[in-house]
Structure 1
Amino acid sequence: MQLAPRTAVAVTAVPGPFEPQALRAHRLFESGDLDEARERISRVMQPHRLQPLGAGLGTPSRSHMDYTRLGDLGLGTIAFFGQPTRVDVEAVEDYHLLMFCLRGHAQVRSAGQTLTASTRSGVICAPGHSFLADLSPDCEQFVLRLDRRMVEAHLGLDEMPARFHAALDLRRPALQAWLDQLRLLAASPALLDTARRHPLVAVEMERLLVHLLHEGQGLGADTHDANLQITGIAPACVLRAERYMEEHAGSALRLVDIATAAGTPTRTLLEAFKRFRATSPMQHLQALRLERAHALLRAGASEPRNGAAQETTSVATIAFDCGFTHLGRFAQAYRRRYGVPPSVTLTARR
């Protein structure tokens, strides 16, 4: 009897939970005071702001941080259990900040993108970019600090900065080797302690994690050119222009003002934005202004309002503060971006 050929079935292994047991032996602090937590975290990361979110919830029941360094790589966990908390970093210093959640979730805003961090997805924030994360009350973060010069040295990038995709999909098959290695390092006391005590082992762990992450995101040397636009590798004039617009979004800016601040001719700046950002400088500026207006409208005014006239005035004030000089065009652009008029966002919070 001839048997019919069996059809091959692809099976994707589902990894177990990421539990960094080895890191638990490196408890940096435990505290019920948010200011103390901010100060202790700032010592090993950088100065930042911590803000409780939600009225009447009191202070977090507890917070903690586990942290250790291996050469120019730092890894740890951070938790603020008990209430939603906002982490606000004005500009990440000279390192790549990688974050995902061991439990809970977070909404992260960085480099003009809003991304979700969870147990299945994370975020990588590049040096120089802001980092704003709203953490759920049950959120515990896993953080990886990758010093910029270390990353570029391992990748052999002498003339351009290293770039990673901001979105980190932990379910991506190509990233499983990186995730498995990171899980092993964070869960094995023997491996972690050996890497901490021996600089050569630490350097090898740096190299392995950097290359696995870079390759896992499809950013290897063989795909570099194809991923140029996607990864955001842009000339310095684009980065200077973006920084200038972020700092002066509420001011009356012309294209020539932005180009002058970036130190490049307007035509060069237009071509660079089109190639590396798939937009124009003025469109990027409008997006920044809309984002700021959206955040202010969501926050609302501190005092209660009565009547539609006050609502209209508040919307107008926020629009003008964010650099919009025509209220009608602002309302149209806002509705195209967020699907509702600005007044709806303002009233939805109450």
Structure 2
Amino acid sequence: MLCINPPSLAAHRYFRSIDVDETREKVSKVYCSHRLDPIGGTGRLDAWQNSLALDRISVGMMSYGAEVEIDPGCLEDFYLLMLPVAGSATITSEGKSFRADRATATLLNPTDPVRMVWDQACTKAMVRIERDALEQQLAILLDKPIRAPVRFATTMPMEGTVAIWWQYVAALMGELDRTTPARATTRQLEALLLTNLLETQPHNYSEALQRGGCAIAPRHVRLVERYIEDHADEPIDMARLVAVSGVSSRTLFEGFQRFRDISPMAYLRLTRLRRVHEELTSAPLPLGVADVASRWGFYELGRFAGQYRSLFGETPSETLRRRAS
């Protein structure tokens, strides 16, 4: 077992409290509504939380300072990954209970009811991943829409690639303790964490990813991916991507086909479609589909709508209507 020691994120203190109701209210704002009950004590806590929200993920450290039972039900719109760095917790999900400690992290799925008991010494590193963000990243890797929710294995034994993933988290938290990265850098770090999680932790699409040959891509593929993520709203052609990659067009194309099962320009299209979807689901209303599409380089609206529906399972106008309902 590899021992991971994430920094405390002391530069991002969120709250400290001895009051149960105040603690419940504060934690609910970061995660979700839940029941919080101290066990067998005075009803007082010594709770604290340090937390920072990025674009698509949030990282934090927290402790209740007392033995507590937490019942959030279903998380619904986010995944929650937790690694005890002190103490332990008992997690109950789908009728099964297991112990979480420094040797075993946990990953809670949005659709599974969950209940937790943290012991008095329990302190956890926590990563919240937005459900839409993870599903969109998986859709990009598979180059097809996600028809069913991504369901991960709940336990994460701290060995091999799982421990390496948590090392990435610890490194990110250390960087955030020192400085606030630029938005482009943040997106790159988030994409790295999402992709590595999908390639590391078993889930119901793991076999499909393996069939797609989704291994760690060579440097020239990752360079182009980062460039596309950072410049998706700008005019980009194949010649520009070849220049960014530093290799020939044939080598670049073959690299994307082998490691992403997709061409570089198709990757650009999927990235732009994801950005349109993000804007339609989160930007302030009112919004016009044509305006959003053209902002991300889509001018043939009929073809764009078909591509969007193929990826997200609904038309852009349906996305807007669902949001307004």
Same fold (TM over 0.5): yes
Partner of 1:127: 110
Change (3 A) 1:37 1:181: same
Deviation at 1:19, TM superposition (A): 2.9
Deviation at 1:70, TM superposition (A): 1.1
Aligned counterpart for 1:43 among listed residues 29, 34, 37: 29
The 8 Å contact of residues 214 and 220 in structure 1, kept in 2 or not, is answered as: no
Once the two structures are superposed, what CA deviation does each residue of 1:259-306 show, in whole Å capped at 9, x if it has no partner? xxxxxxxxxxxxxxxxxxxxxxxxxxxxxxxxxxxxxxxxxxxxxxxx
The 5 A counterparts of 1:48-87 are: 48-54=34-40, 57-81=41-65, 83-87=66-70
The 8 Å contact of residues 100 and 119 in structure 1, kept in 2 or not, is answered as: yes
Partner of 2:172: 185
Deviation at 1:88, TM superposition (A): 0.6
1:25 aligns with 2:35: no
- Structure 1's unaligned 5+ residue stretches are 1-13, 228-350
Once the two structures are superposed, what CA deviation does each residue of 1:25-67 show, in whole Å capped at 9, x if it has no partner? 111000111110000111111111100111xx21345110111
Distance 2:32 2:136 in 1: 23
Distance 2:178 2:137 in 1: 21
Kindly name which structure, 1 or 2, has the bigger radius of gyration based on alpha carbons. Answer: 1
Partner of 2:85: 102
Change (3 A) 1:215 1:192: farther
Distance 2:126 2:177 in 1: 21
Deviation at 1:77, TM superposition (A): 1.5
Normalising by structure 1, we get a TM-score of 0.55
Once the two structures are superposed, what CA deviation does each residue of 1:3-37 show, in whole Å capped at 9, x if it has no partner? xxxxxxxxxxx64441324x121110001111100
Letter in 2 for 1:70: L
Deviation at 1:97, TM superposition (A): 1.3
The 8 Å contact of residues 104 and 138 in structure 1, kept in 2 or not, is answered as: yes
Percent identity over the alignment? 24
Deviation at 1:158, TM superposition (A): 1.4
Aligned counterpart for 2:151 among listed residues 151, 163, 170: 163
Distance 1:174 1:220 in 2: 18
Distance 1:209 1:77 in 2: 18
Deviation at 1:163, TM superposition (A): 2.5
The 5 A counterparts of 1:185-224 are: 185-189=172-176, 193-194=180-181, 198-218=182-202, 223-224=207-208
- Structure 2's unaligned 5+ residue stretches are 212-325
Once the two structures are superposed, what CA deviation does each residue of 1:206-247 show, in whole Å capped at 9, x if it has no partner? 1111111221225597733899xxxxxxxxxxxxxxxxxxxx
Letter in 2 for 1:58: T
Change (3 A) 1:115 1:224: farther
Q: 1 or 2 for the larger relative contact order (CA 8 Å, sep ≥6)?
A: 2
Partner of 2:96: 113
Letter in 2 for 1:104: G
Instruction: Give the 3-state SS of the residue equivalent to 2:190 in structure 1.
Output: helix
Distance 1:37 1:219 in 2: 33
Normalising by structure 2, we get a TM-score of 0.58
Distance 1:162 1:80 in 2: 30
Letter in 2 for 1:50: L
Letter in 1 for 2:131: R
Distance 1:115 1:222 in 2: 23
Partner of 1:248: none
The 8 Å contact of residues 135 and 146 in structure 2, kept in 1 or not, is answered as: no
Instruction: Give the 3-state SS of the residue equivalent to 1:210 in structure 2.
Output: helix
1:145 aligns with 2:145: no
The 8 Å contact of residues 185 and 192 in structure 1, kept in 2 or not, is answered as: no
Distance 1:151 1:100 in 2: 19
Deviation at 1:178, TM superposition (A): 1.1
The 8 Å contact of residues 115 and 123 in structure 1, kept in 2 or not, is answered as: no
